[in-house]
A = this chain, B = another copy of it.
Amino acid sequence: MILKSLDEILEKASAIQTKRIVVAAAEEKHVLKAVLNASMKNIVSPVLVGNSNKIKQLASEIQLDLDNNIIIDEPSPEKSARTAVEIIKNNDAEVLMKGLVSTSVLLKAVVDHKHGLLKGNLLSHVALCQLPNYHKIIAITDAAMNINPNFEEKIQILKNAVNLLINLGYNIPKVAVIAPVETENPKIESTVHAAKLKMMHLKGEINNCIVDGPLALDNIVSKEAAQIKGIKSEVAGDADLIIAPDLNSGNILYKSIIFFGTGKVAAIITGASVPIVLTSRADSEESRLYSIALAVSI
């Protein structure tokens, strides 16, 4: 199975049993709208932690019905984050979403050793992108979390994203480790890491996927470009997932896909015991909904 469009994720999320989503500091208009919309589509059943007066006021502004029973009043964003995490710990919700609380405050609650949601894994950002100039969904990691991952962290970033795709129903996702060139060059760390990841795959240390790299973007997404360069690879021109060298390049690739490639995206944080939805103010309404649907589909 591979995905051709993000609507397939929406369909999947609508078809399965409704999952509970807990929002930390839910008093943010766009987040509230997205969650209530997803709730109307039976994708999620929300629990809204935050400033209850503001939440009610916003719901009335955006003209969406709100069951007061799903609100837990907690005006402090810090406490709201801790309460949301606690609700997950108590198995009273299966997805965590960020509202009007800073990412660092929310993640502090998530990574707390005693009360948090870490599985011992590193947290990483995975984005699924649908764009006119590629023949299927392409996933990008990591565009938002890990600044300068070392090799061990890259292994985990790769595994987090492959797990996500497998959970979505992929069989053997094709993973391209991106670099500026195709040959390993000790001066270009991204090529060294890419070659090592490929080697780990060949040795059976990275499974459930095909890994190739170093590959430059042209050869990752264009069979024709790869052919011209004489590159023979199952991944070339047909990648399902791109592993970026670092935050600079991952973020640029992700935003370039949205703004230059007119792409649509669904993105979540993986690696905790539940998926975490962190949308930003600049995200489109559609993208927020896709991200929630992705979180409930895995």
- Distance in Å: Cβ of A209 to nearest Cβ of chain B: 21
What is the copy number of this chain in the assembly? Answer: 2
Tell me whether B217 and A251 are in contact (CB under 8 A).
Answer: yes
Residues of B within 8 A of A68 (CB): none
A216 within 8 Å of B by Cβ?
A: yes
Residue A124 interfacial (CB < 8 Å): no
Contacts A188-B247, A248-B180, A260-B261 known; A255 to B217 CB distance under 8 Å? yes
Tell me if A58 counts as interface (CB < 8 A to partner B): no
B253–A256 CB distance below 8 A: yes
Assess the A282–B134 pair: CB atoms within 8 A.
no
Q: Which of A19-27, A76-84, A221-229 is near enough to bind chain B?
A: A221-229
Q: Is the CB of B253 within 8 A of A133?
A: no
**Interface check A35, CB cutoff 8 A:** no
- Cβ contact of A260, chosen from B180, B247, B257, cutoff 8 A: B257
* Shortest CB distance A186–B (Å): 11
Q: Are A282 and B229 in contact (CB under 8 A)?
A: yes
Q: A216-B251, A228-B281, A249-B249 are in contact. List 12 more A-B contacts (CB 8 A).
A: A133-B261, A144-B180, A217-B256, A217-B259, A218-B255, A222-B259, A229-B281, A244-B252, A252-B253, A253-B253, A256-B257, A261-B261
Binding site for B on A (CB under 8 A): 131, 133-134, 143-144, 147-148, 178-180, 187-188, 190, 216-218, 221-222, 225, 228-229, 244-253, 255-263, 281-282
